[in-house]
Amino acid sequence: MAAPDKIMLELGAGGELVVARIRLAIAFLLFLPPIINTLSGGPGNENLIGFLGGAFAVFLGCIWYMLARERGRFPWLPWASTTYDITGVTLFLFLLSLHDRAAGLNSFVIWEFYLTNLLLTCLRNDARLTLFAGGLAILQYLALAQWIFANSSAEQLASVSYGTALWSTVGQRTVVLLVATIVAVTTVTRMHRLSKMSGTDSLTGIPNRNWFLHQAKQLIDSAMRARKPVCIAIIDLDHFKRINDEVGHQAGDDALIHAVSVIHGNVTAPDTVGRLGGEEFGLLIHADLETARTRVDRIRVALEQSRFQTPGAEQIIQVTLSSGIAHCDADGQSLTSLMGVADRRLRKAKSAGRNCVHHVD
């Protein structure tokens, strides 16, 4: 039940936009059941409610869609839109029950949208939201049933078109909602695990190249829109090949793990670090260029002053780093250009004798 990580939140923001599009499409499709029902001679009250509900859903669907286009801008949006989706189903059932008590509980045409809206929450990649949707649907449906049974006579609970409203039917549908909630939450949880596995470097436990570059692109786009300072640093461990050749590959792995622990210990949120490959790391820094240089240099000093000894090696090993930093906007406005500038400055740091940080040309 923990909050999703950044990449899952980003995917969830994209999922919210997909849900908004689906919601709008479904809103138009809501006109089909009352049309078909009218042509087949179905109950007029349900048809009228269906037409009114479709028009209302299209109107609000446009509003939700416009909000969802601002991806991730409104953290409350998934919760609000989910509440709207579930409560909308309950409202339509309530309106239907005003004319036919049994229809409010037994109409499958409207009730099935509880399940549809519950499954759509999976696209938002937040198990908490899926659990909330399932719980809200169950509570609202049971509350509606309680109101109907408390305010209806035996004659009102019997319907020619919808059969007799019974607590046993309500219980069966509640169980269906509960099972659907469990399946949906399990699906989202497994998606989180697979995403974490695919986006995590197996040796160091930090985000891998794909995750880092994805996050960097989103951060750059966001920074450009908000005009906030963001820097990208490329960090490379000095003489790393020598450790592998002279001490062994196990020592090389230990050196990477040691370096990551030092880097992590000197990085504070929302700055993030990822492994680009080999002994090279990327760092996203939410600050101006000079502040970014100070932060990276603090990491450099901490690593230089630290030591570690790998099992089976007699000597204590020291690791140092070189780094190049690029500033979003001043040095480029795309991920490709910024990575190119940072890499060029990294090579300059290497040429200058290593164990240093370069942030200007």
> For 345-354, which contacts have Cβ atoms below 8 Å and span 24 or more sequence positions?
346/234, 346/236, 346/322, 348/324, 349/322, 349/323, 349/324, 350/236, 350/238, 350/322, 354/238, 354/239, 354/320, 354/322
**Spatial contact of 195 and 262, defined as CB atoms under 8 Å apart:** no
**Spatial contact of 127 and 189, defined as CB atoms under 8 Å apart:** yes
Among candidate residues 198, 234, 219, the one with its CA nearest the CA of residue 323? 234
d(CA 170, CA 328): 57
**What would you report as the CA-atom Rg of the chain, rounded to the nearest whole angstrom?**
29
Active site residue 46: no
d(CA 93, CA 107): 8
Catalytic residue among 10, 16, 46, 279: 279
**Spatial contact of 275 and 207, defined as CB atoms under 8 Å apart:** yes
d(CA 118, CA 82): 8
Strand order in the sheet with 280-285: 272-277, 280-285, 231-237, 321-327, 357-358
Handedness of CA 285, 286, 289, 290 (dihedral sign): negative
Which residues are marked as active site? Answer: 279
